[in-house]
Amino acid sequence: MYAIFRTAGKQFRAEPGRTVRIPSVQAEPGTKLTFDEVLLGSDGDKVRAGTPMIAGAKVMGEVLRHGKDKKIVVFKFKRRKNYARKQGHRQGFTEVRIESVQLG
């Protein structure tokens, strides 16, 4: 059983028992989250696709921790113009353990 859900403008595949890293959410570790925007789901036999969402479907999970991803380097450069800028960025994430998938 799995589902594709949307949060923070991105889509994620959820299966019960797996952990998913989603963009940062304001929730304490141990808090239960419910994702209502389920786009596609499968119970193992058949696949249900929403138009655009599956009515009554939801994915429930528990917040495990917050953190930051690996650093990426943003380097801007223009040749022969004495222009070079270097900047680093670390994107924040929230790790969520998927507890159940309900397809409505």
For the segment 38-58, what is each residue's pLDDT rounded down to a tens digit?
A: 999 999 899 999 999 999 999
- Rounded Cα distance between 32 and 30, Å, is 7
Query: What pLDDT does 16 receive?
Result: 96
Coil vs helix vs strand at 88 = strand
Distance of alpha carbon 25 from alpha carbon 12, whole angstroms: 15
Confidence class for position 75, pLDDT limits 50, 70, 90: very high
Q: How many domains does the chain have?
A: 1
Site of tokens 């141990």: 30
Instruction: Note whether 13 and 4 are within 8 A (CB).
Output: yes
pLDDT above 90 for 104: no
pLDDT exceeds cutoff 90 at 66: yes
Name the token pair of 57: 């479907």
- pLDDT of 5 reads 97
* pTM listed for this prediction: 0.85
Residue 88 pLDDT = 98
Q: Which domain holds residue 94?
A: 2-102
- Average pLDDT of the residues of the chain: 96
